[in-house]
């Protein structure tokens, strides 16, 4: 009986031990929000600061295209067209890229190529929309996070937040 319990406990522990070796440091995450009659979903992997501060400049270079996430490029899916910073983004799925700027105004890019590795920006030829937004400095966020701090009727704010930097996007769902 002791031998069978020992084998059973080993069988239960071993798969967990082996799978723990394959756990990614940047965990996959998603946020989904309904605004009016539109569903918006962001899928991404969450890089971790791990004591690196500041992140922007030394870790993520100023003036270079970067996807706000890790592993696969971060994506946004829209069930209907929306306006982001007053510019129209059609229904669909897009990869999200940014160009961090030390001046405090970032460029956020929505690219039609949605399935791509995080270091392979598909290029301007497949960009659907580019907007410039002011970033803000605030409390430290250890793991990158996308969230909707404000949703009100047909309008919302979507924020990318990592380290002490937040990049807000104003979203509006046009009504007929």
| Span 32-38, average pLDDT | 98
- pLDDT above 70 covers a percentage of the chain that reads 85
pLDDT band, very low/low/confident/very high, at 24 (cuts 50, 70, 90): low
pLDDT for 19: 53
- pLDDT above 90 covers a percentage of the chain that reads 77
Is-contact 171 39, C-beta < 8 A?
no
Higher pLDDT, 111 or 70: 111
pLDDT band, very low/low/confident/very high, at 115 (cuts 50, 70, 90): confident
Token pair of 2 as six digits: 């002791």
Cα 75 → chain centroid: 7
pLDDT for 21: 62
Strands (E) across 47-173 are located at 75-78, 82-84, 87-89, 92-99, 105-111, 127-134, 136-152, 155-172
Domain boundaries of the chain, sorted by first residue: 25-172
Local structure of residue 104 (DSSP, 8 states): S
Q: Could you give the CA distance from residue 107 to residue 140 in angstroms, rounded to a whole number?
A: 22
Check pLDDT > 80 for residue 11.
no
- In Å, how far are 11, 48, 82, 158 from 169, measured between CA atoms? 49, 22, 12, 5
């Amino acid at each position: 009986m002791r031998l069978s319990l020992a084998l059973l406990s080993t069988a239960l522990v071993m798969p967990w031990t082996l799978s723990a070796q394959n756990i990614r440091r940047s965990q996959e995450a998603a946020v989904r929000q309904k605004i009016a009659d539109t569903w918006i979903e962001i899928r991404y992997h969450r890089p971790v600061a791990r004591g690196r501060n500041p992140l922007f400049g030394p870790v993520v270079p100023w003036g270079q295209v970067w996807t706000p996430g890790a592993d696969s490029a971060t994506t946004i899916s829209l069930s209907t067209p929306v306006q982001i910073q007053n510019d129209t983004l059609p229904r669909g799925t897009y990869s999200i890229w940014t160009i961090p700027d030390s001046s405090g105004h970032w460029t956020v890019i929505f690219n039609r190529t949605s399935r791509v590795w995080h270091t392979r920006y598909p290029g301007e030829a497949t960009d659907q929309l580019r907007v410039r937004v002011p970033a803000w400095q605030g409390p430290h966020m250890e793991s990158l996070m996308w969230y909707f701090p404000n949703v009100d009727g047909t309008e919302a704010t979507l924020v990318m937040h990592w380290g002490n930097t937040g990049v807000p996007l104003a979203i509006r769902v046009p009504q007929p």
